[in-house]
């Protein structure tokens, strides 16, 4: 009986021990699972914090990118009619889309900002090159027989009509000497010595007319392909130059009735004397044509 009781007691203790071990195993498993959850949550928090920091870095760089885009837009506007900016615009749009899509990598935004800045500098350089070419003269002195006083008078007339940045040179080569003044596609104007004695009205009109040709050269391709150029001005650059001079505030009637190219003779140029072309709509068309892009041709 004592032996049987001891055996029963031992079995009971063994069951208790096994139960305790099982409970310990369960607690250990739960502990490990809790630790894993804690590690996962800590990792998730760290990843979220890193993501927030990256996004904040990207957002902090966007104002600089926007500033570069604004500068490029201004440069592209200044380049109208002088430089083909299609490729520059496409590159800028691509960079802009990259920045819009980027959420985490500040380096990507920095690279896009640098790209746009480089585009702005490139456009500015190309415009400067065109302007330098347009301002280049034929070489030699600006005047000869007209003298410094005569040159100053013609120069003052050109400045008055808006040609302050346009080169001016005395030359007897316009139309073989038959024309008193002419514009060159490189962006300068030549005048014959005798026009220094013209009346102020006639001289101002002549310079406005030649300045109009300078603007025509800058958009020549778009100008000659325009339907309005043919329908309203008969594809005649001289007639158009007279109308542009009218818009500028220097009508041909200020040149009196003298048959004095540049431009048409007074009888022809009178069609624009009141600010209208053949259809009565030239003023608006002149402005729109002058805003188009194109290439230059050579007029001597």
In a domain, 254, yes or no: yes
pLDDT the model gives residue 61 = 86
Q: What is the pTM of this model?
A: 0.49
Instruction: Let me know whether 215 and 271 are in one domain.
Output: yes
Instruction: Let me know whether 154 and 129 are in one domain.
Output: no
pLDDT the model gives residue 264 = 39
pLDDT the model gives residue 51 = 72
pLDDT the model gives residue 3 = 66
In a domain, 295, yes or no: no
Instruction: Let me know whether 151 and 284 are in one domain.
Output: yes
Instruction: Let me know whether 161 and 117 are in one domain.
Output: no
In a domain, 161, yes or no: yes
Instruction: Let me know whether 165 and 286 are in one domain.
Output: yes
Instruction: Let me know whether 75 and 158 are in one domain.
Output: no
Instruction: Let me know whether 118 and 192 are in one domain.
Output: no
In a domain, 140, yes or no: no
Instruction: Let me know whether 112 and 204 are in one domain.
Output: no
In a domain, 141, yes or no: no
- Cα–Cα distance measured from residue 178 to residue 260, given in angstroms and rounded to the nearest whole number: 10
Structure tokens at 293: 């892009």
Instruction: Let me know whether 179 and 203 are in one domain.
Output: yes
pLDDT the model gives residue 205 = 94
Which residue range is the domain that position 168 belongs to?
147-290
Examine the fold and report which residue of 107, 135, 163 is the final residue of a domain before the chain moves on.
Answer: 135
Would you give per-residue pLDDT tens digits along the chain (300 residues)?
Answer: 666 666 776 777 778 777 877 887 788 888 888 878 877 777 777 777 667 777 888 888 889 999 999 999 999 988 876 678 899 999 999 999 999 998 888 899 999 999 999 999 999 998 887 666 655 567 778 888 999 999 999 999 999 999 887 889 999 989 888 999 999 988 899 999 999 999 999 999 999 999 999 999 988 888 999 999 999 999 999 999 999 999 889 986 655 444 344 443 343 444 564 433 333 333 333 333 333 323 333 344
DSSP string, the chain: -HHHHHHHHHHHHHHHHHHHHHHHHHHHHHHHHHHHHHHHHHHHHHHHHHHHHHHHHHHHHHHHHHHHHHHHHHHHHHHTTTS--HHHHHHHHHHHHHHHH-SS-HHHHHHHHHHHHHHHHHHHHHHHHHHHHHH---SS-S-STTHHHHHHHHHHHHHHTT-TTSEEEE-S-GGGGTSSEEE-TTSEEEE-GGGGGS-HHHHHHHHHHHHHHHHHHHTHHHHHT-HHHHHHHTT-HHHHHHHHHHHHT--GGGGTT----SSS-HHHHGGGTTS--TTS-HHHHHHHHHTS--------
In a domain, 298, yes or no: no
Instruction: Let me know whether 280 and 190 are in one domain.
Output: yes
> Domain tally for the chain?
2
Examine the fold and report which residue of 86, 101, 135 is the final residue of a domain before the chain moves on.
Answer: 135
Instruction: Let me know whether 85 and 109 are in one domain.
Output: yes
**Among 255, 277, 274, 276, which Cα is nearest to 266's?**
255
Instruction: Let me know whether 108 and 166 are in one domain.
Output: no
Examine the fold and report which residue of 135, 170, 191 is the final residue of a domain before the chain moves on.
Answer: 135
């Amino acid at each position: 009986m004592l032996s049987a009781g001891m055996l029963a007691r031992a079995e009971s203790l063994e069951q208790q021990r096994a139960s305790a071990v099982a409970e310990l195993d369960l607690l250990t498993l739960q502990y490990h699972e809790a630790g894993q959850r804690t590690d996962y949550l800590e990792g998730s928090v760290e990843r979220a914090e890193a993501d927030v920091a990256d996004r904040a870095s990207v957002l902090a760089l966007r104002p600089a990118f926007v500033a570069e885009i604004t500068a490029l837009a201004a440069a592209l506007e200044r380049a109208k009619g002088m430089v083909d900016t299609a490729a520059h615009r496409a590159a800028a749009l691509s960079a802009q889309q990259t920045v819009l899509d980027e959420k985490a990598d500040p380096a990507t935004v920095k690279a896009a900002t640098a790209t746009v800045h480089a585009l702005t500098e490139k456009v500015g350089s190309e415009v400067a090159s065109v302007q330098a070419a347009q301002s280049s003269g034929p070489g030699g002195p600006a005047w000869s027989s007209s003298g410094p006083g005569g040159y100053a008078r013609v120069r003052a007339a050109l400045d008055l009509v808006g040609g302050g940045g346009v080169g001016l040179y005395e030359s007897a080569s316009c139309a073989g000497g038959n024309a008193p003044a002419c514009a060159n596609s490189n962006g300068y104007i030549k005048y014959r010595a005798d026009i220094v004695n013209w009346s102020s009205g006639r001289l101002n009109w002549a310079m406005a007319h030649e300045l109009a040709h300078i603007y025509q050269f800058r958009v020549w391709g778009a100008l000659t392909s325009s339907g309005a150029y043919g329908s309203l001005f008969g594809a005649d650059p001289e007639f158009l130059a007279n109308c542009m001079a009218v818009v500028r505030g220097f009508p041909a009637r200020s040149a009196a009735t003298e048959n004095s190219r540049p431009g048409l003779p007074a009888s022809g140029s009178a069609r624009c004397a009141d600010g209208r072309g053949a259809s009565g709509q030239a003023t608006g068309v002149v402005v729109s044509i002058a805003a188009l892009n194109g290439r230059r041709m050579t007029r001597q």
